[in-house]
Amino acid sequence: MNFLWGLLPIFVFCQVCSGEYKRVCYVESWARYRPSRVRFTPENIDVRLCTHILFAFATLDDTGVRIKADDDGDDPSMYKRFTDLKKRNPRLKTMLSVGGWSMGSALFHKAVETDSSRSTGAQNIVKFLRSHNFDGIDIDWEFPGDRGSPAGDKHKYTLYLKAIRDAFDKESKSSGRPALLLSAALNPMPSMFDNSYEVPEIARNFDFINLMFYDMHGTWDHVVGHHAPLYPSKNGDTINVDYLVNEWIKKGVQKSKLIIGVPFYGRTFTLADASKSNVGDKITGAGVKGPLTGDAGSLSYQEICLLMKSGVPVRRLVHQRVPYIVDGNRWTGFDDAKSLSEKMGYIKKHGFGGAMVWSIDQDDFNGICGGETYPLLKAMNRALGTGIIG
C-alpha cells in the first residue's frame, strides 16, 4: 500500500476513503483576527488532512433553545465559507461546535431544563444545521452539574442528548438524507463521571466523543507539569492519556467512539527559579504571552517552532513521551511530530476511533518556520497511514 501511494499521488484525497480513523480538527473562529502573518480563515484549511472540521464556537440565545452566532460576522458569511470547503473535498464533514469554556453553563442549563426546552431545542438545532449546510453539531458544555449548573443537570444533559439524537434520526428518516452527526468535547478526568457525565448512557447518543487530553496540568498545580503526557511520569501518576482513556473503557464506552485529543499549542509556566526546570519544580504563574497569539499561559506551535528555529533546544520527558522547551524562565510543554506520531501509534495499537486536534490554526499552517506547511497535522496523517503526500 505504501508503494502504491508513492507511485500514485492521484489518490491523495483517498485518505478519507476507508474511514478507518477520524481526524477531527477544531478551528478557532477568532484566529481570523490574529496578526496578518498568522491570520487564519477557512481558505487556509487543507481539506486533505481532516475528516471532520469543527467551527468553534457558536452559542445559544437567551432562551437556551436556539443556536446563535458568537460573532456577528459568522452567520451567514463565515459559516458559508466554512461549509463550502466540501466543494473541494466532498467527503469532508463540517460541523458546528456550540459552547466552550467562556460560555459557561447558564444557557445550557436553560436548554436542558424541561422536556419542552429539550424537544424545542433539538428541533431548532436540526433546522439551523440544515439551513447552514452543516453536517452535525458538537456540544462543548464545560461542565454539566458544575460551574453554576445544578447537580440535576447531569441527568438532564443525558436527556438533552437523547432528544437531539431522536430529532436527528427522525429528520433523516423523513428527508432521506444522512443523519446529522452528534459529537462532544468531554473532559477525560474520572471525577467527571461523578459530577457531570452519565457514562455509558451519553455515549450511546454520540457518533464520536472527543476526549480533551490537554490542559491536564496547569498553573493550578503550582508546579511544572506537562499538559498532554501520553504515559505516567516515573512517579507513576494517573494524569495521562493511557491511564485516563482506560477509565472510559472500563465504563463501557466503545473504543471506536473515543477520539484521542491532542494539542497544537504548548502550556507555559513561569519558573520560580530558572535553574530548576524539572517536572514538579515551583512556578510563580503562567508563562508570558507569545508574539503571535498573545495568550498568557500558552504558545501556539508556530510560536514554539520559531523559538526552536532561534536555537532554543528541545528537551524530552522520557517516561511521558513528550517534549518541552525552556527559554529564560518560561517552561513550555507541547507536542511535536515525534510525540504525535507515538500517540497515533497508540491509537492504532489499541483500536481507538481516531485523533482530535485543538486547533489546526495553531499549527505552522503557512510554513513561517521555513519548513513544510501543517507539519503537525501531516505528521499525524502519516503516522495514521492515511497516505498524505507532501
- Name, in order, each residue with C-beta under 8 angstroms of 318's C-beta and a sequence gap of 6 or more: none
Please state, in angstroms and rounded to a whole number, the distance separating the CA atoms of residues 71 and 58.
8
Known catalytic membership, residue 342: no
Residue 228 corresponds to which cell in the numbers above? 498532554
DSSP label of 384: H
List beta partners, residue 209: 184, 258
Cα–chain center distance at 6: 30
Helix, strand or coil for residue 1?
coil
Q: Which among 42, 137, 134, 24 is positioned nearest to 81, based on CA atoms? A: 42
Q: Which among 8, 10, 18 is positioned nearest to 381, based on CA atoms? A: 18
List beta partners, residue 182: 137
Please state, in angstroms and rounded to a whole number, the distance separating the CA atoms of residues 112 and 99.
14
Q: Which among 23, 33, 41 is positioned nearest to 366, based on CA atoms? A: 41
Helix, strand or coil for residue 154?
helix
Residue 51 corresponds to which cell in the numbers above? 475528516
Residue 262 corresponds to which cell in the numbers above? 491532542
What is the residue type of 268? T
Instruction: Evaluate whether 254 touches 203 at the Cβ level (below 8 Å).
Output: yes
List beta partners, residue 299: 266
Residue 201 corresponds to which cell in the numbers above? 448512557
Residue in 113, 142, 171, 303 annotated catalytic: 142
Q: Which among 146, 243, 181 is positioned nearest to 51, based on CA atoms? A: 181
Q: Which among 136, 144, 192 is positioned nearest to 168, based on CA atoms? A: 136
Residues forming the active site: 142
